[in-house]
Amino acid sequence: MDMQIPRFKAEFFKALAHPLRIRILEVLCEGERNVNEIQSIVGLEGSAVSQQLAVLRAKNLVNTVKSGTTVTYSLRDPLIRDLLAVAKQIFNNHLVETISVLEEMQQNP
């Protein structure tokens, strides 16, 4: 069995396997931003944001455009926005199920 496509998918999802990288992608879903803007929005300064942007860049999830000393980031593929929306729906579905179980447990101690 050819494992090339499953391996590619696994590497893609590894790139999403960090909360800050997901948050950065969510910010970029709203439009292109430079590093300072991203840092301000996510509430982190220093190298943390730059390190995660480097991973996203290495995995080809973001595009960069350099103008002078400013680097602007954007989503490489607009379908990332859809992927994050679906992931949020899945999370919300699980959350609703968990709340229902907890409510039932409270009603029937």
Whether the CB-CB separation of 75 and 62 falls below 8 Å is answered with: yes
Query: What's 35's domain CATH number?
Result: 1.10.10.10
pLDDT of 108 reads: 79
Query: Cα dihedral angle (100, 106, 107, 109), rounded to 10 degrees?
Result: 130
Note down the domain range covering 37.
Answer: 4-107
pLDDT for 96: 77
pLDDT for res 1:
62
How many domains are there within the chain?
Answer: 1
Query: In what order do the strands lie in the sheet containing 33-34?
Result: 33-34, 70-75, 62-67
d(CA 93, CA 32) in angstroms, rounded, equals 30
pLDDT tens per residue across all 109 residues of the chain: 688 999 988 989 999 999 999 999 999 999 999 999 999 999 998 799 999 999 999 999 999 999 999 999 999 999 999 999 999 999 888 887 888 777 888 887 6
- 38 class by beta-carbon count within 10 Å (0-12 exposed, 13-18 middle, 19+ buried): buried
